[in-house]
Chain A
């Protein structure tokens, strides 16, 4: 079946450091890919998405590029802030309609120290 693998956490960085959280997937077709973020005490929020190969999703300074050849969707940010501390989930939907359930990775806890 479809699956998502992302790097284990916690990831601890200093403020203004560069961030990369790795995500790879296995799917039998061409899924849409997502990054969700879960801030402490809050629900999951969509951070960014990409629906086809070579698409780049971006939001709040975060970026991720859909790499079909490496089946990857790594999350990057050039300069992190303390407010970016959260748990980040990579996810996919394998459906043309987009109404199916998401398949999530295990999540990566990001801690940004001032």
Chain B
């Protein structure tokens, strides 16, 4: 069974540019999560989806961050415009009704 797929794995952009990350969860997993992992820190939840509905986006900085999961399968996280402090690893995870979360390899963003 394929795991959680994320792309790109690495992204380097200049500040003020837009950037988007893509995540394809494990087939059949209705719950999808986006986490932010700063260097030397543990992941922090940004947003959680149940199917196509965002059920917890309280930690998502809505002035510059947006996310969507239009058909309840894959998801996109966007930053516009990016700031230097957005340099981090963006993790996607998915889970089924069991609740166990499976993580993708992450996208490492560097903003210069």
Chain A contact residues, CB within 8 Å of chain B: 4, 36, 41-46, 89, 91, 93, 97-107
Chain A binder among B11-19, B69-77, B80-88, B102-110:
B102-110
A59 to chain B, nearest CB (A): 13
Q: When the two chains form the complex, which single residue of B31, B33, B40 contacts A107, counting CB atoms closer than 8 Å?
A: B40
Report the separation of the CA atoms of residues A98 and B100 in the bound assembly, to the nearest whole angstrom: 7
A38 to chain B, nearest CB (A): 9
Nearest residue in A to B101 (C-beta to C-beta)? Answer: A102
Q: When the two chains form the complex, which single residue of B43, B93, B105 contacts A42, counting CB atoms closer than 8 Å?
A: B105
Q: When the two chains form the complex, which single residue of B40, B91, B99 contacts A93, counting CB atoms closer than 8 Å?
A: B99
Q: Is the beta-carbon distance between A102 and B43 smaller than 8 angstroms?
A: yes
Report the separation of the CA atoms of residues A104 and B56 in the bound assembly, to the nearest whole angstrom: 17
Q: Is the beta-carbon distance between A97 and B99 smaller than 8 angstroms?
A: yes
Interface-centre pick from B42, B43, B50 (highest chain A CB count, 10 A)? B42
Q: When the two chains form the complex, which single residue of B31, B103, B105 contacts A99, counting CB atoms closer than 8 Å?
A: B31
Report the separation of the CA atoms of residues A106 and B42 in the bound assembly, to the nearest whole angstrom: 4
